[in-house]
Amino acid sequence: MHEWISDSDQTPHIVVDASLQGVEVPRQYVQGGKIILNVSNSATSNLSLGNDVVRFRARFGAVTHDVMVPIAAVLGIYARETGQGMIFSEADAPPPAPPTAPTEAPSGSPEPKRAKPTLKVVK
């Protein structure tokens, strides 16, 4: 998304949950537990968009800060000019593994009978 937004000559911003562990941002700019960060190439230096973490240096109020955001803390990415982008929710997270079924059927219960498979010619 970052590359697509940048290639469209727009400004990529990420919304970050600043309350999560591992988030390193200037706390004075956090509002309501969230912070919006301009992650354009012109606003950052040493930008690294990894699979686990987003890292860069940026100036906030004329003071340079090192910023580190674990991917789990990124709530969304969008273009400032149009508002188009993606908002991530907990529903986007992979579902938990289903519980494992017991390997043995309880004693005394008959096994269900399976119907024989059939083929049907459709014209």
Domains of the chain, with CATH numbers?
2-82 (2.30.30.220)
What pLDDT does 67 receive? 97
Q: What percent of the chain has pLDDT over 70?
A: 72
**Strands of 44-49's sheet in order across:** 44-49, 53-60, 63-70
Least confident of 32-36, 46-50, 92-96: 92-96
What pLDDT does 94 receive? 47
pLDDT in tens, 88-102: 875 554 444 455 555
Residues 6+ apart with CB under 8 A from 104: none
Please classify residue 122 by burial: count the beta carbons closer than 10 Å to its beta carbon, then call 0-12 exposed, 13-18 middle and 19+ buried: exposed
- Provide the token pair at 34: 């969230």
**Structure-token match 């003071």, residue found:** 63
pTM for the model: 0.70
Residue 47 has pLDDT above 80, yes or no: yes
